[in-house]
Chain A
Amino acid sequence: MKGEVAILGAAARVGASVAADLESEVRSVVLDSLASSKLDLDDIDAVVTVASDTLDGVMVPIRAEVAGAFGKMPLNIPSSAGHALAAAVVLLESGQARHVLLAGWGAASKLAHHDSRSIQADPFHDRPAGAVPAQVAALQASELLDEFPDLPPHGITFADGAVALVLGSSEGHDAAVRIADAGTSSRGYYPEDDKVDPLRWVNEAMAKWRQQPAKPQVAVSGPGRTAEARAATAFTDATPSGPALLPSGSEAWFGPATALFQAFQLHQQLSRTGGEGVLIDMAGPMGQHVTCVRLAGGAA
């Protein structure tokens, strides 16, 4: 592939409850993202999806048709938006695709019926003992606040949402937001570190980056405000109240695809202002699966 991988177009709908018409929302963001990229669905070779099929009763890979996947090369990665975004990047860099549509959606308004996060814990030992996402996240926040009392209190707000990004080569797209670096780090349900500190995992994920960003815009998606703020301290300019921190995932959490909304916001911001941005996606009750992506606006 000539040039670097870039986000060529993006669209998002996030609200308190759009689940009743979620498929329409998915179609809308797909069409809007294509329009903003100035590409047509016929230009798309591969469609990557990120969503939890436990919420809707029909397998996501089978229903990917609603995201425009019919006839395309599909890839369904329900584990996290960061994993799916990184997959889209390597599909392009490996030559498996020239243009990738990355679509994610979720409906936290359905959590009352079935909380898919409750099955993230070991079913034989931990679930019977009460290992549920809210408790695990609260324990982590408690530990962090004990040591760093200036962090914001734990909290999470649920939402429904759909996001679509169009990715391709930056060549010929001067205004595109390029994906300059990406890395992951992971832990199991019980991280087995001496501290459950997301900053450590973020630093691990960025360890192999070719370059550290200078004064980036930062967008974080994690299990709650405390953990998100702690992760963002990887960038000294990104304080919880600082201007460089964009609205976080815990302000409108809609499942594993949530961080795509943070990617969307970074795309919008960097398209206007240029400069660099960092997306930190921390999936899981403590943010155990971390993906960090460095983005750059403007021409390479």
Chain B
Amino acid sequence: MTVPCVLGVAQFPMRTRLPDYTYADLLGRIAYQAVEDSGVDPGDLDGLILSLPPTTTLGVDEAQYWGLAHLPGSRHVLGRVHAAAASGLQAFRLACAWVSAGRARRVLVVGADLADEVANLAGALGQLHDPFTERQVVRNAITSAAVQASAYMAAHKVTSLELASVVVKNRGNGVRNQYAQLRQAVTGQEVADSPLLSWPIRRLDCAPRSSGAAAILVGAEGTGRGGRRTVRAAGFGAFAGARMIGSRMVPGAQSYLDGADLAAAAAQAYAVAGIRDPRTEIGCAELYAAFGIIELLSIEALGLCPKGEAARRIADGEFHADAALPVNPSGGATCGNPLASTGLIRVIEATLQLWGEAGEKQVELRQPTVLVTAIAGAFQSHEVGVLAA
């Protein structure tokens, strides 16, 4: 079976608004940049996959018809993948399957967002929840994170400042990321003093609303340009969660609060990649977290530290860029979160670290293995990938 590898990558600087580009412009620019980065002839692609979450509410829809013309590989579109903010990683997994199955040598995955083209994201995010029950009780991404954060703080005696340590770490990392939307460091006190949205979630706890674009060319080993370390997709895992978050809150099944679903997805990925002890075998992690609490729950569910310890460990310097196991050295979604691209950006940042091409954000990898995650919905469905050089 063919081992799928990352041949080329490209990402666009994330911004609140990108008024100088149409959606098709963004797709075209980023697609050709990724192919150029790979050294592959644009005419030598076998397929194209579009990462595009929901849609009318983001100002675009069904872009597989009007946004892909003339893109490399667009004469053989292999599908549009829509899994909310997990679309990018799910699309990357599908591209790897095409290559691994031997049905394609090279597949381009591309995604773009112009989130500023609609008044707000409430319509799109509202689609995450049941319209007849959960939406009536102001169930949204922020209130969901608030439930998780308050439960976490109570269960593990974590203070607001300790909770803020994730955002402080990521915003500090984002200063070194030329693609980040937010490039100013913040203090824990600034996070704690920022406007309250839904206790204990404050404005600076949240990922910004972002426009951006990203593309990855996936192919069989040896089908890209030479001179780079081979970055393999070593394993994937995924877990589709429940539609109604409350349906999983019965005693003994608190995956929404303890990350059991993510742990199940990770176990799958680790088994395929041959990872037994993630704490020592993972060199770095790029985890999708639109809120600080999600990163804490993810670090623990992925087995990178014991339950309830992530916040204090981050406050003590663990998981920082200069630590043994850096988490989100790019700043993560805290510093920019374009929904269609964010899963691809996690893979791109992981690949750049493995190639040694991450520039100012480059960290020292004790192991040539990087973990990536993405989440569809409010901690509802999980994608986990392991990349290895």
Contacts and interface: CB of A to CB of B under 8 A. Distances in A.
Interface of A: 46-47, 53-54, 57-66, 69-80, 83-84, 86-87, 89-91, 93-96, 116-117, 119-124, 126, 182-190, 192, 204, 284-285, 288-289
B381 A75 contact: no
A183 B60 CA distance: 27
Interface in B7-36: 22, 24
Contacts of B243: 58, 62-63, 65-66
Contact of A71 (B47, B62, B239): B239
B100 interface: yes
A95 B100 contact: yes
Given A94-B100, A96-B97, A47 B240 contact: yes
B239 A79 contact: no
Interface in B51-88: 53-56, 59-62, 64-66, 68-70, 74-84, 86
B130 interface: yes
Residue from B50, B84, B261 whose CB has the most chain A CB atoms within 10 Å? B84
A9 to B, nearest CB: 20
Contacts of B50: 79
Contact of B376 (A54, A62, A122): A62
Contact of B81 (A62, A77, A93): A77
A63 B241 CA distance: 9
A84 B97 CA distance: 13
A58 B130 contact: yes
Interface in B224-281: 236-243, 261, 264, 268
B97 A54 contact: no
Contact of B380 (A62, A79, A91, A192): A62
25 contacts: A47-B240, A59-B53, A61-B82, A61-B381, A62-B128, A70-B241, A73-B237, A74-B381, A75-B94, A79-B79, A83-B78, A86-B78, A86-B79, A87-B78, A87-B97, A90-B98, A91-B97, A93-B97, A93-B103, A95-B100, A122-B24, A182-B103, A186-B48, A187-B75, A289-B77
Contacts of B83: 61, 74-76
Contacts of A186: 48, 64, 68, 74-77
Contacts of B97: 87, 90-91, 93-94, 96
B84 A59 contact: yes
A286 B122 CA distance: 33
A63 B242 CA distance: 8
B162 to A, nearest CB: 31
Given A59-B54, A62-B377, A185-B76, A121 B103 contact: no
Contact of A59 (B1, B74, B127, B241): B127
Nearest to B47: A184
B60 A53 contact: no
Residue from A69, A78, A190 whose CB has the most chain B CB atoms within 10 Å? A78
Contacts of A58: 127-131, 243
Contact of A73 (B1, B54, B240): B240
B136 to A, nearest CB: 14
A66 B244 CA distance: 11
Interface string B97-139: 1101111000000000000000000000001111100000000
B171 interface: no
B96 interface: yes
Contacts of B79: 77, 79-80, 83-84, 86-87
Contacts of A86: 78-79
A69 B261 CA distance: 13
A53 B83 CA distance: 11
A75 B70 CA distance: 26
B93 interface: yes
B90 interface: yes
Contact of B381 (A62, A95, A187): A62
A299 B124 CA distance: 47
Given A87-B94, A87-B97, A190-B69, A124 B22 contact: yes
A68 to B, nearest CB: 9
A95 B98 contact: no
A190 B65 CA distance: 9
Nearest to B99: A94
A73 to B, nearest CB: 4
A8 B98 CA distance: 21
A53 B380 CA distance: 17
A74 B240 contact: yes
Given A57-B131, A64-B240, A76-B81, A121 B66 contact: yes
B65 A188 contact: yes
Contact of A65 (B56, B61, B240, B264): B240
B76 A188 contact: no
Contacts of B238: 46, 72-74
Contacts of B56: 54, 119
A94 B95 CA distance: 11
A72 B240 CA distance: 6
